Amino acid sequence: MLEIRNLHARIAEDGTEIIRGLNLTVKAGEVAAIMGPNGSGKSTLSYILSGREDYEVTEGDILYNGESILELDPSERAAKGIFLAFQYPVEIPGVATMQFLKVAMNEQRKFRGEAELTTPDFIRRVKEASARLHINPDMLKRPLNVGFSGGEKKRAEILQMALLEPKLCVLDETDSGLDIDALKIVADGVNALRSPDRAVIVITHYQRLLEYIVPDTVHVLYKGQVIKSGDKSLALDLEANGYADIIGAAA
């Protein structure tokens, strides 16, 4: 589903290279965890996948279902099924949450040549998905993310993911700032989306989230490269021994 080949990327504004020859393959149905110390390029990778224009790809390619996505803008990537759950979802005053959800769902449908949702159908979908995520309906009456707690913001991200039904889900430190109850709710939300035709990339610092979202593969990112890949036991290993040994072995 996703194949990243020898990717090099830098910050557009100052040219700082962050991703330096990254290779990664994620198959349909797979849950891949990406771990790594601070500054290794994890969030940058997620932004690059989503098409954020603050970063420039200088070499290599990103293939999604066999096609390069480098020329696609963020909305086209999203409509093709790539979803990034943000580490820090932004507050947008004046944009009503419900209106935002409806526009996003319908714009994606339009892009794919599908009919727009009727209002009752839309409301039914939102109600069902938010109930599963224990989201208070009052939260949806507020402007997008405005005044939401950290946990509410993360749940709102997973709600968007559930409603938009993406094919490739990228979760950027979705566990940060969550207490254990919220973590379980979010993990349940993600697990409910696991399916043979969908891939999930979980970016995290901690093994804790991976107890609830059990990965098929684990990749260690360091200085913009994947320096080690393994199965879920690699995450336990990192938890017990830290990154030093792996970084030492790779150097």
Partner 1 sequence: MNMQTAITMTAAETALVDAYTAMIGELPGEGAVLSARDALLADLKRQGLPTRRVEAWHYTDLRALLRAVPAHDPSAFAQRVEPLVAGSSVLSVLNGKADVKTAPAGINLRSYAESLVEGVAAADLIERDTDDAIGRINGSFVRDGFEIEVPEGTVLEQPLELQLVQSAGQSHSRFPVTFGANSRATVIERHLSVGDAASLVTVVSDLILDDSAEITWIILQQQGASDSHLAQVNFDLGANAKLRLFIINAGGKLVRQEIHGVTTGEGADFQLRGINLLGGDTHTDVTFTLGHDVPNTTSKEVIRNVLFDRAKGVFQGQIRVAPDAQKTDAKMACNTLLLSDDADFSAKPELEIFADDVQCGHGATVIDINPTHLYYLRARGIPENKARAMLVNAFVDEIVEELEDEGLIETLETIISAWLEKHA
Contact residues toward partner 1 (CB under 8 A) are: 50-53, 73-75, 77-79, 84, 86, 89-90, 92-95, 100, 103-104, 107-108, 111, 143, 160, 164
Give the strands of the sheet with 67-68, arranged side by side: 17-26, 2-11, 55-64, 67-68
Smallest gap from Cβ 242 to partner 1, in A, equals: 33
Q: Nearer to partner 1 by C-beta: 75 or 136?
A: 75
Nearer to partner 1, 166 or 224 (CB): 166
Q: How far is the CB of 238 from partner 1 (least distance, A)?
A: 29
Per-residue tokens: 67: 């096609």
Indicate the residue among 92 and 192 with the shorter CB distance to partner 1.
Answer: 92
Nearer to partner 1, 100 or 206 (CB): 100
Amino acid at 165: E
| 124-160 per-residue burial string, b: 16 or more CB within 10 A, e: under 16 | ebbeebbeebebeeebbebbbbeebeebbbbbbbbbb
Taking the least distance from each CB to partner 1, the nearer of 59 and 114 is 114
CA angle (124 as vertex; 109, 152 as ends), nearest 5? 90
Minimum Å gap between C-beta 226 and partner 1 is: 24
Cα separation of the two ends of the chain: 30
Taking the C-alpha atoms of residue 221 and residue 39, their distance in angstroms, rounded to an integer, is 10
Q: Which is nearer to partner 1, 92 or 131 (CB)?
A: 92
Cβ proximity to partner 1: between 93 and 242 the closer is 93
Q: Tell me the angle at which helices 119-132 and 97-111 cross, rounded to the nearest 10 degrees.
A: 110
CB of 56 to partner 1, least distance (A): 15
* Least spacing, CB of residue 51 vs partner 1, in Å: 7
Other Cβ atoms within 10 Å of 244 Cβ, number: 9
Q: How far is CA 102 from the centre of its chain?
A: 21
Shortest reach from residue 65's CB to partner 1, in Å:
17
Q: How far is the CB of 190 from partner 1 (least distance, A)?
A: 18
Which residues are CB-contacts of 78 (< 8 A; sequence separation ≥ 6)? 50, 104, 108, 164, 166
CA atoms within 13 A on the CB side of 121: 6
